[in-house]
Amino acid sequence: MEAELLAWFAEQGRELPWRRTRDPYAILVSEVMLQQTQVARVVPRYLAFLRRWSTVDALAAASPADVIREWQGLGYNRRALNLHRSARRIAADGWPDDLTELPGVGRYTADAIALFAFGEPVLPVDTNVGRVLERTGADFGSESAHALMDLGATICLARIPRCEACPLAECCPSRGRRYPAERRQSRFEGSFRQRRARTLRRVAMRALPAAELDPEALSSLAAEGLVQVRAGLATLPEDS
């Protein structure tokens, strides 16, 4: 199966900017941005982020407030703080042997950096890759990582896979199957997540009296370090 997969990828693989680099910092940025966010939304933001902070040292020297402002619109803003904290740790101590020691870096992200930046022979298994592995029951090497990601994202879809376009269909034991809808994320409109996002967006524009803001959302944001409240004024976390 692996030969067929790689042949398909050579013709159909997606052109993504983070696939043109071995820079571990650039790959870290891409992987953090891609957590729970669609590729199409990430591409322009990734390019803009790296234009502003092209190295890990540059990001480490930035203020948390500037990083949070740059992140606005990508959602799940704690990722911005984790990325910034990771940059500061790397700038101070270098890349750790165990990449999961970095803030917000789990097993998949660590494996992706290990493979794509450092060339370690490990297969990062995200949702798309895991789906292909489960359905095919096949073993693939690390050289198939990008191909597996693209196959899962574009062909081997969660509920109704496009088996007629799949290069592995002839040998796949799951060919033709349909799957129940996965549990969908709760609606953003009217949710507490939206209240948090709206509150953070307002504070990112300018410091505001805490009394003028959603108290529950502000408290939640402050607990995560995304805002700070001093003398009744809510601001983004600036350097001391």
From edge to edge, which strands make up the β-sheet containing 228-230? 208-209, 233-235, 228-230
Q: Which of 139, 225, 224, 228 is nearest to 213 (CA)?
A: 228
31 as an active site residue: the answer is yes
Q: Of how many residues is the chain composed?
A: 240
- In sequence order, the β-bridge partners of residue 209 are 233
Cα 162 from Cα 159, distance rounded (Å): 10
How many other C-beta atoms lie within 10 A of the C-beta of residue 234?
23
Catalytic residue (one of 11, 15, 31, 189): 31
Within 13 Å and on the Cβ side, how many CA atoms surround 158?
Answer: 8
User: Looking at the annotation, which residues are catalytic?
Assistant: 31
